[in-house]
């Protein structure tokens, strides 16, 4: 009887181990595959030419593979999305966690969850049909597909992650802190911004980094609104992100062009690894606090 139980335990243990290893295996496989397929093109083009070259003409008679425009666009685009999205998301989180009446909180939280569930292609479609003509009319430029359009779409897309993680961090602040502040005569608003927010700052920082990760990795929605010409980034110009550079050319690519796309993916992967490392750092710190 006891023996049977033990066998059962071991079997279940084994199954869980295998399931766990599937995740690890996938990550390893992707990493190894990306490195193996990303290195040859970088070697052929030259790391400096690849990373700092300003022209991308992958199918030209004399092709050139410089991805500086993509890197800068991804950085600017993400920074813009954070600049727009973080104040909105952060203040929404403070409102929901501390100020909102229960009924209101329920409605807004539901809306935020819904926002998180909308597929990115839908964001892209709405951006294409509403945002692009809107920007075109508002700023009197010939075409609305631009870095600005991408930034606005990304800012909205990262809102749910920022709001949800910030709320969790704010709600984890011990009530005693706030009570003490209120008892000392501070108003509720003063308390939230001087006591609750500083106490939750690691968690909020983690929310921002998560937003960065989401924004830099988004491809579909961006591809539909950014225009995809490989220009150096400028607010009203058509631009191409690292993600869209890979996605837009992959289907018909061949030879060195295809290898270079893998190399772009490798660069993007390194960016995301870096962001993940920063995220882990903040999460660890917020746990220690």
- The nearer residue to other proteins, 112 or 149, going by C-beta atoms, is 149
Residue 17 CB partners (closer than 8 Å, separation 6+)? none
Q: Tokens standing for 140?
A: 């009197």
- List contacts with other proteins (CB under 8 A): 17-18, 21, 25, 28-29, 57-61, 128-129, 132-133, 136, 142-145, 223-224, 227-229, 238, 240, 247-249, 251-254, 257
User: Least distance from C-beta 138 to other proteins, angstroms?
Assistant: 14
- The nearer residue to other proteins, 1 or 61, going by C-beta atoms, is 61
Find the largest Cα–Cα distance for the chain. Answer: 80
| Residues forming beta bridges with residue 227, ordered by sequence position | 239
User: Least distance from C-beta 8 to other proteins, angstroms?
Assistant: 19
Rounded distance between C-alpha atoms, residue 274 and residue 158, angstroms: 18
- The nearer residue to other proteins, 1 or 7, going by C-beta atoms, is 7
- The nearer residue to other proteins, 87 or 255, going by C-beta atoms, is 255
User: Least distance from C-beta 85 to other proteins, angstroms?
Assistant: 25
User: Least distance from C-beta 39 to other proteins, angstroms?
Assistant: 17
- The nearer residue to other proteins, 64 or 187, going by C-beta atoms, is 64
The residue with tokens 């772009």 is 264
Distances (CA, A) of 182 to 11, 166, 201, 276: 55, 22, 20, 37
Residue 105 CB partners (closer than 8 Å, separation 6+)? 96
User: Least distance from C-beta 253 to other proteins, angstroms?
Assistant: 5
């Amino acid at each position: 009887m006891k023996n049977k139980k033990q066998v059962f335990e071991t079997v279940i243990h084994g199954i869980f181990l295998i399931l766990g290893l599937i995740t690890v295996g996938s990550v390893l496989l992707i990493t190894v595959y990306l490195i193996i397929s990303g290195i040859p093109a970088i070697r052929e083009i030259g790391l400096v030419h690849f990373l700092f070259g300003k022209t991308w003409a992958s199918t030209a008679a004399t092709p050139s593979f410089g991805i500086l425009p993509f890197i800068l666009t991804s950085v600017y685009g993400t920074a813009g999305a954070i600049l727009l999205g973080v104040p909105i998301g952060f203040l929404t989180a403070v409102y929901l966690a501390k100020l909102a009446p229960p009924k209101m909180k329920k409605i807004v939280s539901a809306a935020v969850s819904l926002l998180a569930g909308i597929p990115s292609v839908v964001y892209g479609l709405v951006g294409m049909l509403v945002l692009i003509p809107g920007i075109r009319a508002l700023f009197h430029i010939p075409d609305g597909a631009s870095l600005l359009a991408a930034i606005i779409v990304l800012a909205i897309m990262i809102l749910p992650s920022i709001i949800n993680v910030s709320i969790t961090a704010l709600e984890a602040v011990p009530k005693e802190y706030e009570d003490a502040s209120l008892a000392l005569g501070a108003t509720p608003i003063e308390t939230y911004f001087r006591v609750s927010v500083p106490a939750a700052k690691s968690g909020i920082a983690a929310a921002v980094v998560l937003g960065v990760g989401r924004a830099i990795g988004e491809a579909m929605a961006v591809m539909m609104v950014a225009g995809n010409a490989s220009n150096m980034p400028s607010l009203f110009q058509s631009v191409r992100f690292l993600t869209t550079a890979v996605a837009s050319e992959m289907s018909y690519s061949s030879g060195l062009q295809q290898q270079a796309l893998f190399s772009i993916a490798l660069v993007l992967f390194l960016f995301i690894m870096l962001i993940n490392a920063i995220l882990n750092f903040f999460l660890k710190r917020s746990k220690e606090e």
